[in-house]
């Protein structure tokens, strides 16, 4: 199964995805967490500005999707945290993987700018960083996510939220194995 967490930078994808992977691993050790930022470094695709253009982002998304597919075919559960700005790729995911569950981490831009843990939005606003999704590159709200989580709050109960999301994905951690 591939659990696909999407949303803008700072929306909580990695925070929730990490907890979901931790809980899922307790029951299914064949679980891996993939994070878009980390994978950019692994693929050495994080140098310069070209990787952050729309074209560069598509190449990166295709690599991550192919990696998810490879792991899924081997019976490994994948929790993938990625911006996922390409609606056509998300639609293809529904038939590409053995099971697919999409979670949209929904936070308004004002909450993301307030949070701005990486300083990304401030740098984009001053022109120091180009090609930021949500500022320079449009982010269209996904229309077919299996679960939408309002992530505008700064202090959610992440373990409870992860358990709820896993249950909705059909991975009830309380049910007998």
In a domain, 76, yes or no: yes
In a domain, 117, yes or no: yes
The three-state secondary structure class of 7 is coil
- Beta-carbon contacts of 138 under 8 Å, excluding residues fewer than 6 positions away, are 85
CATH number for 61: 3.40.50.300
Give residue-wise pLDDT tens across range 5-51: 999 999 999 999 999 999 999 999 999 999 988 887 787 766 666 88
Tell me how many domains the chain contains.
Answer: 1
Average pLDDT of the segment spanning 80-88 = 95
DSSP sequence for 28-71: -SSEEEEEHHHHHHHTT--SSSGGGSHHHHHHHHHHHHHHHHHH
Give residue-wise pLDDT tens across range 122-142: 999 999 999 999 999 999 999
In a domain, 47, yes or no: yes
Average pLDDT of the segment spanning 153-162 = 90
Catalytically active residues, by annotation: 84
Q: Report the mean per-residue pLDDT for the chain.
A: 92
Give residue-wise pLDDT tens across range 50-68: 888 999 889 889 999 999 9
Beta strand segments in the chain, E: 2-6, 31-35, 77-81, 100-106, 147-150
Report pTM.
Answer: 0.92
What is the C-alpha separation between 52 and 32, in angstroms, rounded?
A: 25
Question: What domain range is 40 assigned to?
Answer: 2-168
In a domain, 175, yes or no: no
Query: What whole-number percentage of the chain has pLDDT above 70?
Result: 94
């Amino acid at each position: 199964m591939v659990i696909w967490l999407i949303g803008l930078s700072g929306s909580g994808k990695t925070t929730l995805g990490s907890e979901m992977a931790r809980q899922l691993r307790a029951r299914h050790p064949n679980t891996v967490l993939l994070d878009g930022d980390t994978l950019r470094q692994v693929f050495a695709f994080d140098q310069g500005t070209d990787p952050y253009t729309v074209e560069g982002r598509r190449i990166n998304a295709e690599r991550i999707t192919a990696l998810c597919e490879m792991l899924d075919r081997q019976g490994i559960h994948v929790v993938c945290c990625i911006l996922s700005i390409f609606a056509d790729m998300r639609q293809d995911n529904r038939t590409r993987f053995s099971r697919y569950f999409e979670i949209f981490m929904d936070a308004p831009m004002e909450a993301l700018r307030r949070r701005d843990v990486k300083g990304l939005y401030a740098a984009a606003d001053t022109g120091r960083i180009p090609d930021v999704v949500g500022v320079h590159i449009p982010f269209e709200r996904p229309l077919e996510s299996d679960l939408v989580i309002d992530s505008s709050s700064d202090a959610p109960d992440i373990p409870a939220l992860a358990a709820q999301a896993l249950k909705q994905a059909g991975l009830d951690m309380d049910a007998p194995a």
